[in-house]
Structure 1
Amino acid sequence: MTAAPNTDTTANGGGRYTFDNSSPAAVRQVRLLAEILDGHSTDVLARSGVESGWNCLDLGTGLGSVARWLADQVSPAGRVVAIDADPRHVATHELIDVRTGDVTTLDLGEGVYDLVHARLLLMHLTQREQVLRRAVAALKPGGVLVVSDWDCTHLDEMLLRGPVGLAEPFVAFQRALVGLAEDNGASPSWAYRVPVAMRDAGLVDVEAEVHNRLWSGGEAGCLLHASNSRQMEPALIARGVSVEQLETLRSGMDDPDTLAWSYPMVTSVGRRAED
């Protein structure tokens, strides 16, 4: 069975988070996301200078894999706070304080953290710029904010090659999925605006980079689409995607001859000025 979308109206500040973290399909989803993205995320975080003794905040922690990597870097004297609306997938760790909460209302503190990280979170929030400003306020002077979100505005360009008949179902699925996210308050184009939002919030030394790679069928980047299609099947069908199109999509995402790009991930880094 495929789980219905989350109907928790507190998940993103008055909207609905598109995916349901409590569904059986969510376990596979968060693991695939970690496999796709953790290498990029930890590379950027390593370059940010994270070191032993730092206090870090991981917003929308998901599987908690980045929080665990941070915990290894800040050991033995540092700490990591990992926040998620539903942190059931986060494994326990002696240096990680896992907290359940809505980041749009939760008190993040003032001048507490050396680093704040948020991946695939702000694009889903209707109050994204307000949360970003609160994340900035939570930084110590000299602290670093790292924000990563997908750009979902080039859906027609993602599939390079696949079995005959895959192209139309693939694009139909992508448009329907992104449309559902937009209905729930997400912004497909927010990622490219983050550097400006960071500067407007007072951060300095703002930089950004775009990360993407090509995936073959059967690899994590393709399997994520199949996983999402199963988790969101009722909502996708209600939006006009047929069962036959979903089946074609899933078969294509497992075909080793398929070649598809991920959504481009835009990662922006800014630093709070020293007082």
Structure 2
Amino acid sequence: METPLTYAFDNDDPAAVDRHSQLPVVLDEFTVSRLTSLGDLTGRRCLEVGAGGGSIAAWLARAAGPTGRVLATDINTRHLPTDAPYEVLQHDLETEPVPDGPWDVIHARLVLLHLPGREAVLRRLAAVLAPGGALVVEDFETTFRKMVLAAPTPEAAELVDLYHTLLVERVLPAHGNDPTWASRAPAAMLEAGLTDVDTAMHARSWPGGTAGALLIGANLAQAREDFLTAGMTEAQLDALVRLVDDPRLIVRSHFTYSTIGRRPPA
């Protein structure tokens, strides 16, 4: 019997706190712009899957207002506030039915790329949309290289490049991640019967000591053993942890593909 694949960045890991503080800084502005493009969300029924620290669920709750409904789900809800202005449900998107809809908006950020059954999950999410409802899937496209825009030494740049190569080719795929998924999501939405499919892409630079660079440190903290297994040394990992605090390093964030598809009106 095969050992079930596990998520590389477990919410029970103490370093997950850093991840959930850095990802909103890196991604929330772009995500909010995409959700805002859906129009007035007042009174809408919104499902936030893989809610993480809950920053987008909280934004949706404000946008939907008192006449709306927001349900935030995660396989591990420990980082969602207990006094959240939205409902919280511990839920496994791959093995459990999608929470009862219909939903006017379903948002999944950095979720499907980690799920081996991502295509089936997308079809099930599409099926519980209300007529005219929107599915918003946002994932990193990690196959693009040249993430280092500036570095204190050529060796430092090579170290970041090595980290990125091993992350994409060895570490994450060992946990079921598909680095090509983000660019395949539009076709998957069309196959699921959604229309008006639209993708926007986003990336920006981050100097050492800021959220986009420190996210590398969070990855290393949570997946250190995986990187050692993939071939990095303890000395290289320690050097990289120091490097991501160095303002002379400037890295480009992964491209985020934000794909929206709508269920046809009744």
TM-score range, shorter chain: over 0.9
Match of 1:245 in 2: 236
Q: 2:217 is matched with which residue: 200, 206, 226?
A: 226
Offset from partner CA, 1:26-82 (integer Å, 9 cap, x none): 001111011110111111001112421111000111111100000001111111111
Residue pair 2:8, 2:222 contacting (<8 A) in 1 also? no
Equivalent of residue 24 in structure 1, options 14, 23, 37: 14
How far, CA to CA, are the matches of 2:20 and 2:124 in structure 1?
A: 26
2:58–2:84 contact (8 Å) kept in structure 1: no
Relative to structure 1, the CA distance from residue 92 to residue 47 in structure 2 (aligned partners, 3 Å threshold; closer, same or farther) is farther
- Please list the CA deviations of residues 94-124 of structure 1 after superposition, one character each: whole Å capped at 9, or x if unmatched: 6411111110122225651000000000001
Structure 2 partner of 1:266: 257
1:98 alignment partner, one of 74, 80, 88: 88
CA contact (8 A) 1:78 1:95 kept: no
Percent identical across equivalent pairs?
40
Contact 1:57-1:113 at 8 Å conserved across structures: yes
Matches within 5 A, 1:101-250: 101-109=91-99, 111-155=101-145, 157-164=146-153, 165-178=155-168, 179-250=170-241
The CA RMSD over aligned residues, in Å, is 1.4
The alignment of Structure 1 onto Structure 2 pairs a total of residues equal to: 262
**CA deviation string 1:135-179 (max 9, x = no partner):** 101100000110000011023x10111121212221221222222
Where 1:169 maps in the other structure, the secondary structure is helix
Measured against aligned partners, the alpha-carbon deviations of 1:1-28 in whole angstroms (never above 9, x if no partner) come to xxxxxxxx7xxxx421111110110001
Q: Report the Cα offset of residue 235 of structure 1.
A: 1.8
Counterparts of 1:205 and 1:111, CA distance in 2: 21
TM-score calculated relative to the size of structure 1: 0.92
Counterpart pick for 1:52 among 39, 42, 50: 42
Please say if residues 87 and 100 of structure 1, whose CA atoms lie closer than 8 Å, have aligned partners that are also in contact: yes
Deviates more, 1:128-137 or 1:164-173: 164-173
Q: Do 1:111 and 1:137's aligned partners in 2 also have CA atoms closer than 8 Å?
A: no
Unaligned runs of 5+ in 2: none
Q: What is the match of residue 38 of structure 1?
A: 28
- For 2:161, the aligned partner's letter is V
Contact 1:205-1:271 within 8 A present in 2 as well: yes
1:210 and 1:118 mapped to 2: Cα distance? 15
Alpha-carbon distance change, 50 to 102 in structure 1, aligned in 2, over 3 angstroms: farther
Whole-angstrom CA distance in 1 between matches of 2:148 and 2:253: 9
Does the CA-based 8 Å contact 1:111-1:141 persist in structure 2? no
Worse-superposed segment, 221-230 or 245-254: 245-254
Mapped contact 2:194–2:264 kept (Cα < 8 A): yes
AA matched with 1:184 = H
Question: C-alpha separation between the residues in 2 aligned to 1:27 and 1:238?
Answer: 24
The worse-fitting range, judged by mean Cα deviation, of 90-99 and 183-192 is 90-99
Unaligned runs of 5+ in 1: 1-8
Matches within 5 A, 1:65-84: 65-84=55-74
Q: Structure 2 length normalisation: TM-score?
A: 0.95
CA contact (8 A) 1:192 1:266 kept: yes
